[in-house]
Chains A and B, each alone.
Chain A
Amino acid sequence: MKRLVEGNEAVFLGALKAGATFFAGYPITPSSEILALAAEHAARDHGFKFIQSEDEIAAANAIIGASLAGAKSFTATSGPGFSLVQEAIGYAHQAEVPTVFVNVQRVGPATGMPTMPAQQDILQTKYGSSGDYYPLVFYPNSVEECYRYAITAFNAAEESMSPVILLSDAFIGHLNEVVDLDAIEVKVVPRSRPPLGTGKRSFSGLAHDEEGNPRTADAEVYRKWLSKVKARHEEVAARYSDFKFKGNTSSDTLIISYGIVSRVIAPLDSEFALFRPIRIFPMLGPELQHYAQGYKKIVVIEANDGQYGCLVERELKREVIQVPLLGGRISLGLAKKGLSEKLGREVH
């Protein structure tokens, strides 16, 4: 049935569709609707478990416990809350725990501008916890995609045995669009690991060997483990190399943008070629290289001070023109103004 759905609601409904039965969270704008929907759902369906945690740290660790106990689990947070869950994200990578973290971004740092959209957690998403790890991250730009990629996030979590991050922002999270979610067909990957209480396994944040024995001073065992995990993540990522490309043969410039910004600057397609990664991490290296080839100039427009742009530059090994949209004002006008300044000509 077609109806009006909000981005945050679509994320929640996608999680349910994917088989999630556990949510823990701590209220924070602009992600709180997801928590409220989970609370309502738990009141109706006793198979669905909900905890309003004492803080985001508790919520992040609760979804890890729930996953180990056999539930598909998730949390949703924003801004400072996303900082608080970083240690647990690292733990879930080391202990190989599938779960989903939703981050509805707002302007920071710290309390910043709580109701205003931003894309300022891109590098934190990739590098926020201690150690080396290879997160899978998706960033939808519509209500329908919020639903689709919530399901994808749960699937990829089970396949990669890791915490997958679904990025959104205050704009996408609160966007209302008419969609028919029932008509969307997405496969659901079943739970991959037997729950606690069925074996003699040791789950831990310690470096470990194949049998789960702690190996905290053996570089060889660690390197083997890390390369195995990296390969697994790359293999899973390859199943979800999702992006949108709109070429423009009359333009010498390719604009790369994602999430809310890609939505706002869509009308620039008459003047520029556009590339939008949906799988933000691991980066779409080969795809970026392929589509960037024919263009003299590469521009990255994003709602932060160049976080993805610097990674694109590294990936393409060529200079990237950066157009940051800061302070929660994400508009076509500002994008054009920034482009005009950086390109040295009037962009209409």
Chain B
Amino acid sequence: MFKELLKLERFPTIWCPGCGIGQIMIQLAMVMDELGLDHTNCTVISGIGCTGRLAGYMNMDSVYTLHGRTLPVAEAVKLVNPSLKVIVVSGDGDLASIGGNHLLHAVRRNPDLTVLCNNNQVYGLTGGHAGPTTPRDTRTVSSPAGSPYDPVNLQNLMKAGAKYFYAKTTVYHQVHLRHCIKEAIAWPGFAFVDITSQCIENHGRRLGFNSAYEMLLHFRKTYKRAPDGAEILGPDEIGIVRKG
């Protein structure tokens, strides 16, 4: 049962009702259950942010690292114990902004890690500040006139490596999300799953959404499956691109 992989005694979680992180956690636990991953063969490592708190709800040894430092910690864990499945779960700000240098070098070194990036396009925990994935012109607490920059292109960043695995999915597309997590865990190298999700309280409402449900419907409307074997994902496509 996937519920045995969660520390239910720590529930309710700290997350706002309707937050997308819970979905990522449930889907991850379901995949782990299916693959036989548990406290004897797996560890979850997260950074700081709302997403980072996920590690503490997993019923296995987990590490909630410093802000941005998941990858150096995870790489070292994997190097010391290669038989351990090491799964990193963190926010887009944590991985791509303060941890950006580590991401760049993880792409280069290609360690055998699975990374689930909760891409809610904002710094959720600090109250809705713009981050590296915030789309241009989006209003946030720290970009009241709209963010002046284009977001970081995570797909291209991942493809900077000679070998790569990049999956783009959303919390609305649950079957696809599960599929991506499974494929990423099976990938023998650095596998990055870019999961579009909703931060309703510190972002969605400011954008005019009334509920998390409305945000999910927006994901359904926006994102289409990329054709099988696609080598590049368009901005509104979900799918997997990889090169081994």
Contacts and interface: CB of A to CB of B under 8 A. Distances in A.
Contact of B81 (A24, A70, A73, A202): A70
Given A49-B80, A70-B81, A87-B66, A196 B74 contact: no
A22 B79 contact: yes
Interface in A179-209: 195-206
A43 interface: no
Contact of A68 (B40, B42, B63, B79): B63
B60 interface: yes
B59 interface: yes
Contact of B65 (A59, A196, A200, A205): A205
Contacts of A206: 64
Interface stretch (A5-13, A50-58, A304-312): A50-58
Interface residues of B, number: 35
Contact of A22 (B73, B74, B80): B80
A71 B7 CA distance: 27
A63 interface: yes
B81 A195 contact: yes
Contacts of A124: none
Contacts of A51: 75-76, 79
B77 interface: yes
A196 B73 contact: no
A62 interface: yes
A69 B77 contact: yes
Q: Which of B42, B64, B80, B81 has the most CB of A within 10 A?
A: B80
A291 to B, nearest CB: 41
Contacts of B59: 200
Contact of A205 (B42, B64, B72, B81): B64
Interface string B37-69: 001111101000000010110011111111001
Contact of A88 (B43, B66, B79, B105): B66
B91 to A, nearest CB: 15
B72 to A, nearest CB: 4
A65 interface: yes
B102 A200 contact: no
A55 B69 CA distance: 12
A72 to B, nearest CB: 10
B61 A199 contact: yes
B101 A197 contact: no
A91 B66 CA distance: 7
Given A54-B105, A59-B72, A196 B81 contact: yes
Interface in A64-90: 64-66, 68-71, 73, 87-88
A213 B10 contact: yes
A61 interface: yes
B64 A65 contact: no
A91 B76 contact: no
A214 interface: yes
A297 B62 CA distance: 54
A196 B81 CA distance: 9
B39 A200 contact: yes
Contacts of A58: 69, 71-72, 101-102, 105
A24 B74 CA distance: 13
B6 to A, nearest CB: 11
Contacts of B42: 197
B21 to A, nearest CB: 16
Contact of B55 (A21, A62, A195, A202): A202
A203 B10 CA distance: 15
Contact of B76 (A22, A54, A201): A22
A214 B62 CA distance: 13
Contact of B69 (A57, A66, A73, A197): A57
Interface of B: 7, 10, 39-43, 45, 53, 55-56, 59-66, 69, 71-77, 79-81, 84, 101-102, 104-105
21 contacts: A22-B76, A54-B102, A57-B69, A58-B72, A62-B76, A65-B76, A68-B61, A68-B73, A69-B84, A71-B80, A91-B66, A196-B61, A196-B81, A196-B84, A197-B40, A197-B81, A198-B61, A199-B61, A200-B7, A204-B63, A214-B56
Given A66-B79, A69-B81, A71-B80, 9 more contacts: A62-B73, A64-B65, A65-B76, A65-B77, A69-B84, A197-B43, A198-B39, A202-B61, A206-B64
The 8 closest A-B pairs by CB, nearest first: A65-B73, A65-B76, A204-B64, A69-B80, A62-B76, A58-B72, A61-B72, A61-B69
